Amino acid sequence: GAGALEIDARARCLQCDGVRVSAGDWLTIDGGAGVVYAGRLRTVPGVPSEEFRRFMNLADRHRRLQVRANAETPEDAARALELGAQGIGLCRTEHMFFASKDRLLSLRAMILADDSRAREDATRRLAPHQFEDFREILRVMDGLPVTIRLLDPPLHEFLPREPAALEAMAEQLGIPEAEVAAKAEALAEFNPMLGHRGCRLGLTSPEIYDMQVEAIVRATAALKAAGRDPRPEIMVPLVGSEEEMARLRERTAAVLDRVVEQAGIELEIPIGTMIEVPRAALVADHIARHADFFSFGTNDLTQMTFGFSRDDIGRFLPQYLESGILRKDPFESLDRTGVGQLVEIAVERGRKERPGLKIGICGEHGGEPTSVTFFHRCGLDYVSCSPYRVPVARLAAAHANLGVAE
Ligand code: PEP
Ligand code: MG
Residue-wise pLDDT tens digits, 247-287: 999 999 999 999 999 988 889 999 999 999 999 999 999 99
Upper half-sphere CA count for residue 93 (Cβ side, 13 Å): 29
Which ligand lies nearest the alpha carbon of 384? 1
Query: Pocket residues for ligand 1 (CB within 6 Å)?
Result: 90, 92, 152, 276, 297-300, 362-363
Please, which pLDDT band fits residue 1 given cuts at 50, 70 and 90?
A: low
Residue 224 dihedral angles phi and psi, to the nearest 5°: -60, -40
**Per-residue pLDDT tens for 191-237?**
889 999 999 999 999 999 999 999 999 999 999 999 999 999 999 99
Tell me, what's the pLDDT at 188?
87
Atom of ligand 1 nearest to the CA of 276: 2
Give the mean model confidence (pLDDT) for residues 1-15. 88
Q: Note whether 199 and 248 are within 8 A (CB).
A: yes
Please, which pLDDT band fits residue 44 given cuts at 50, 70 and 90?
A: confident
Tell me, what's the pLDDT at 13?
96
| Closest residue by CA, ligand 1 atom 1 | 297
Task: Give the range among 8-12, 85-89, 163-167 with minimum mean pLDDT.
Answer: 163-167
Per DSSP bridges, beta strands 13-16 and 19-22 are antiparallel
Atom of ligand 1 nearest to the CA of 92: 9
At CA 65, angle to CA 60 and CA 70, rounded to 5? Answer: 95
| Closest residue by CA, ligand 1 atom 3 | 297
| Closest residue by CA, ligand 1 atom 8 | 299
Q: What is the pTM for the complete model shown?
A: 0.92
Which ligand lies nearest the alpha carbon of 239? 2
| Closest residue by CA, ligand 1 atom 10 | 300
10 alpha carbon – ligand 1 mean position (Å)? 30
Q: Which carries the bigger pLDDT value, residue 163 or residue 133?
A: 133
d(CA 20, CA 406): 42
**Per-residue pLDDT tens for 330-355?**
999 999 999 999 999 999 999 999 99
Task: Give the range among 70-84, 149-163, 276-290, 349-363 with minimum mean pLDDT.
Answer: 149-163
Question: Over the chain, what is the mean pLDDT?
Answer: 94
Statement: residue 65 has pLDDT above 90: yes
d(CA 218, CA 32): 39
d(CA 113, CA 155): 12
**Per-residue pLDDT tens for 367-396?**
999 999 999 999 999 999 999 999 999 999
Q: For 381, which DSSP code?
A: S
Statement: residue 99 has pLDDT above 90: no
* Residue whose CB lies within 8 A of the most ligand 1 atoms, among 300, 310, 371, for a mutation test: 300
| Most confident option among 44-48, 95-99, 391-395 | 391-395
Tell me, what's the pLDDT at 73?
96
Tell me, what's the pLDDT at 349?
98
| Closest residue by CA, ligand 1 atom 4 | 297
Atom of ligand 1 nearest to the CA of 295: 5
Give the mean model confidence (pLDDT) for residues 8-28. 94
60 alpha carbon – ligand 2 mean position (Å)? 29
Tell me, what's the pLDDT at 165?
86
d(CA 58, CA 61): 5
The helix (run of H) or strand (run of E) holding residue 56 is helix 50-60
Atom of ligand 1 nearest to the CA of 297: 3
Tell me, what's the pLDDT at 276?
98
Tell me, what's the pLDDT at 265?
86
3 alpha carbon – ligand 2 mean position (Å)? 22
